[in-house]
Amino acid sequence: MSNQTFSLQPFPSAEPIPNLKITGNIARQANQFTIHYALLGDLKEVVIPTPSDTPARKHELWKDTCFEFFLGVKNSDRYWEFNLSPAGDWNVYRFEAYRQGMQEETAFTTLPFHVEYLSDSFTLGLDVNLDKIIAANQALEIAITTVIKYRNEVSYWALTHRGTEADFHRRDSFIIAS
């Protein structure tokens, strides 16, 4: 897969967050997967967790601002959910089918990524080798998502929203092929 850019859209029923954009790019070379997010605009009221001195694997990161992506094996129900908090905390979950058999993916013991805060932007980037969970020749279907906490509201951003409710696990929203 060559470098592909993306732009996320908020779930339609969400109260629009003024002057906010989420863009980025992804690439896969053999089994090296790279993703970069850019949160751009007026970030004063976006709740961005402060960096942790000791980033760790944590649950329920999606309750706050969290950058996520989903990798599904083509022609299989199996998929993985990657959660990356601006604080540096992370988690990876494996599913056997749509919201079925959720397990913490133990193949990863660390997931180092970098973050950068500027006055009008926030960036997050991850470069990860997928050899521990899939073969390099396996075709992937990818969904890119973000949860944004703005004031006291939470909004859900994705490449596409296919249902009547925000649901990042829907396989018909895994629209990037790799």
Q: What is the pTM of this model?
A: 0.94
Here the CATH number for the domain that contains residue 109 is: 2.60.40.1190
- Give the domain extent around 61: 4-177
| Number of structural domains the chain divides into | 1
Confidence of residue 163 (pLDDT cuts 50, 70, 90): confident
Q: pLDDT tens digits, residue range 51-85?
A: 888 899 999 999 999 999 999 999 999 999 999 99
